[in-house]
Chains A and B, each alone.
Chain A
């Protein structure tokens, strides 16, 4: 074969490999984990992905068990074990980051439908319990001892026009991000007032440092990845 076509074959194999790797569940989990780590608010729970990952972890545990009993060489076993450990780490970290966000903003998440709907069933139970516990704690320690009209844990007093005592995450923090495709029509939330109508564009695979609020919906739809 002429060398040109061998190279062509190799590079298309490399492309296929890249395409394959980028869609394995571990890669998807890594991506979900990175996004969750970088985003100031809690993102949608990747229910299907997590179910599959858990099944795969079980499978990997069985494989390692089997290899150990059969007496496979330690090097191979340790490779399987490393793969398993890596996946377990990602899963644990993903769930833990989310739980920490829930603990931090529990009242806000509980009362904001958009955020509440992003939680898994187990996370919802946890949040309910958390909010009940903290609410009771605040009521018993502080609020029940204050004059009437000031006993709400969400509002400073009955005169407040909104829930002014509920901590919220700051959505105007800046995040490092990247898009896979060419994106246009992004409205920047933080530009100078007269420039706000200018629409922003993102080229694929280029890193940008943008205000999270401006790209919130694009992160939700999966078009932008956070780093």
Chain B
């Protein structure tokens, strides 16, 4: 909790070889997502506690407030890590497309999750469409 697993996820990506994709870590990813829901539940119950005590949630500064803040920061930190994981893998996928063209070799395809395969195909199509409009093949080795 509190961002620890999320930072593991990011470290896993960062420690991989640049330009290579490790298998998508579905387990860890799902755990971090689950933690977000947990934190959100805790956050909401602390807010409720404050309301029950008759405090103004926006301005009151008691232990509940700071507790809620920690949960908020945890959710946002998790979100940043999860997004960074997916976003940076997507960037690696785009670079792969430039390097090896629109057909993914099987070894790499195994490491992508379902949405990443979709993204690869879509981006490949977008690039192809652009190149056909400008009538220039940009993937020719320069």
A positions within 8 Å CB-CB of B? 54, 88-89, 91-93, 95-96, 99, 103-104, 122-123, 125-126, 129-130, 133-134, 137-138, 140-143, 145-147, 150, 153, 156-157, 159, 165
Contacts and interface: CB of A to CB of B under 8 A. Distances in A.
Nearest to B33: A145
B36 A92 contact: no
A141 B86 contact: yes
B134 interface: yes
Contacts, number: 90
A123 B76 CA distance: 33
Given A126-B129, A133-B122, A133-B126, A146 B79 contact: yes
Interface string B100-142: 0000000000000101101100110011011001111110101
Contacts of B87: 134, 138
Given A145-B33, A156-B76, A157-B75, A137 B136 contact: no
B80 A156 contact: yes
Contacts of B76: 150, 156-157
Given A137-B119, A147-B75, A122 B133 contact: yes
A130 B133 contact: no
B10 interface: no
Instruction: Give me the 6 closest cross-chain CB pairs, A-B, nearest first.
Output: A147-B40, A129-B126, A126-B130, A133-B122, A137-B119, A122-B133
A165 B84 CA distance: 10
Contact of A130 (B36, B86, B126): B126
5 contacts: A126-B126, A138-B86, A138-B87, A156-B76, A165-B83
Nearest to B89: A141
B130 A99 contact: yes
Contacts of A157: 72, 75-76, 79
Contact of A122 (B37, B90, B123, B130): B130
Given A103-B94, A122-B134, A156-B80, A142 B123 contact: no
B1 interface: no
A96 B118 contact: no
B82 interface: yes
Contact of B36 (A89, A133, A150): A150
Contacts of B33: 142, 145-146
Contacts of A142: 33, 79, 82-83, 86
Contacts of B137: 92
